[in-house]
């Protein structure tokens, strides 16, 4: 039986952001079905991770989504399996290192060039053409999507 070629979803992930979803939702929902999760559940589950976890501008939502997808694929459910814990942590570190190579950081506020400190408001910014033009998020999302495809979906025949 011939292996079916995976069609890249990098552009779809970036387009999802342009629809109004946050960075975490854009990445996570684009690939969750590859690991057995439906889109609505994926959107709900990842919604809190956007804007650096709850708009606190901490770890980028796209990076958080890489970690959650790695967990769906290779995560462990046995609290006593130290080898499995080490494996998933190493995988997430590897993926994050690749992202850090591209952007220098995995922290939302640093990616956006914001001043140090926690975002005061939980209210999201209004999505306007100016908002989208001022954000590096589509490129960040595309980078995370490429890492996911190369790391989690690039199966050898």
List pLDDT tens digits, range 126-146: 899 999 999 999 999 999 999
16-43 residue pLDDT tens: 999 999 999 999 999 999 999 999 999 9
Q: What pLDDT, on the 0 to 100 scale, is given for residue 66?
A: 98
Q: What pLDDT, on the 0 to 100 scale, is given for residue 120?
A: 79
For the chain, the average pLDDT equals: 93
Report the distance separating Cα 28 and Cα 99, nearest Å. 16
Q: Where are the alpha helices (DSSP H) in 48-81?
A: 61-74
The number of residues in the chain equals: 157
Report the distance separating Cα 139 and Cα 7, nearest Å. 19
> How is residue 80 annotated by DSSP?
T
Of the listed ranges 17-21, 104-108, 116-120, 151-155, the one predicted with least confidence = 116-120
With 80 as the cut, is the pLDDT of residue 98 above it?
yes
pLDDT band at 121 (very low <50, low <70, confident <90, very high): confident
With 70 as the cut, is the pLDDT of residue 147 above it?
yes
Contact 26, 13 (CB under 8 A): yes
Joined together, the tokens standing for residue 44 give 């709900």
Q: What pLDDT, on the 0 to 100 scale, is given for residue 118?
A: 65
Cα 63 to chain centroid distance, Å, stands at 4
Q: What pLDDT, on the 0 to 100 scale, is given for residue 156?
A: 53
Residue whose entry in the numeric block shows the structure tokens 């290779």: 74
DSSP for 106-118? -BHHHHHTPPSS-
pLDDT band at 157 (very low <50, low <70, confident <90, very high): very low
Report the distance separating Cα 52 and Cα 38, nearest Å. 23
Q: What pLDDT, on the 0 to 100 scale, is given for residue 3?
A: 47
SS3 call for 36: coil
Return the closest-CA partner of residue 14 out of 32, 35, 29, 34.
Answer: 29
38-90 residue pLDDT tens: 999 999 999 999 999 999 999 999 999 999 999 999 999 999 999 999 999 99
């Amino acid at each position: 039986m011939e292996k079916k070629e995976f069609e890249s979803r990098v552009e779809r992930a970036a387009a999802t952001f342009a629809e109004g979803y946050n960075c975490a939702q854009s990445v996570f929902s684009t690939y969750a079905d590859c690991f057995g999760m439906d889109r609505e559940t994926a959107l709900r589950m990842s919604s809190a991770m956007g804007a650096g976890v709850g708009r606190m501008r901490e770890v980028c939502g796209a990076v958080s989504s890489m970690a959650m997808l790695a967990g769906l694929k290779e995560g462990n459910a046995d609290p006593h399996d130290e080898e499995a814990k080490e494996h998933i942590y190493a995988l997430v570190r590897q993926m994050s290192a690749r992202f850090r190579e591209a952007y220098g950081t995995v922290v939302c506020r640093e990616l956006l060039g914001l001043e140090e400190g926690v975002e005061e408001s939980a209210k999201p910014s209004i999505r306007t053409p100016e908002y989208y033009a001022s954000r590096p998020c589509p490129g960040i999302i595309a980078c995370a999507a490429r890492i996911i495809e190369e790391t989690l979906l690039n199966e050898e025949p």
